[in-house]
Amino acid sequence: MASNVWVLDFGICAFQESKPPGGMEIGTFVAAEIYLGIDPFFYFEYLHSMPGMPPLIYSWKINSISQQTAPLIQSSERTLIRDASKLGFKAIGKTDAWKDDDGNAEYVLNCTRLVIPAKKKITTTT
């Protein structure tokens, strides 16, 4: 695997485009708390073709979508955070990451993974 990306298998596989943590090698077992985001482009544009990169595109049924409703507040000169006293979610029918919450939306997708093997390339979207 390349030195600038690594993959963690926790039942599904996910990648991080950075140097792996020290002491990591293929087959190492780890315990971790992770933040899982949805890849906007990196994997299907170029990472999928790297030697040794596993298929990481999974098929899902989206059961429901919720959007964080807490307003963003200034934490420091360059950092916005959610107002912890107003955290909450509202059900929505679809996402619009470019417009929702002025491009700062946070969503929770309640999904079921479909029994379809992972792929390296996107063939269809619905």
Residue 102's contacts (CB-CB under 8 Å, 6 or more residues apart) are none
What the block records as the tokens of 117 is: 């093997």
CA–CA separation, 105 and 107 (whole Å): 6
Q: What is the pLDDT of residue 22?
A: 85
Written as one letter, the residue type at 54 is P
Question: What tens digit of pLDDT does each residue of 28-81 get?
Answer: 888 888 888 777 688 888 999 999 899 999 999 999 999 999 999 999 999 999
40/12: higher pLDDT? 12
Q: Check residues 21 and 64 and name the one with the higher pLDDT.
A: 64
**SS3 string of the chain?**
CCCCCEEEECCCEEEECCCCCCCCCCCCCCCCCCCCCCCCCHHHHCHHHCCCCCCCECCEEEEEEEEECCCEEEEECCEEEECHHHCCEEEECCCCCCCHHHHCCCEEEEEEECCCCCECCCCCCC
Q: How confident is the model at residue 101 (pLDDT cuts 50, 70, 90)?
A: very high
Least confident range from 75-84, 96-105, 114-123: namely 114-123
Question: Does residue 113 surpass a pLDDT of 60?
Answer: yes
Spell out the domain ranges in the chain: 1-56, 60-113
pLDDT band at 23 (very low <50, low <70, confident <90, very high): confident
* Cα within 13 Å of Cα(110), Cβ side: 10
pLDDT at 107: 94
Adjacent-strand bridge partners of 92: 65
Give yes or no for residue 1 having a pLDDT over 80.
no
Give the model's pLDDT for residue 87.
97
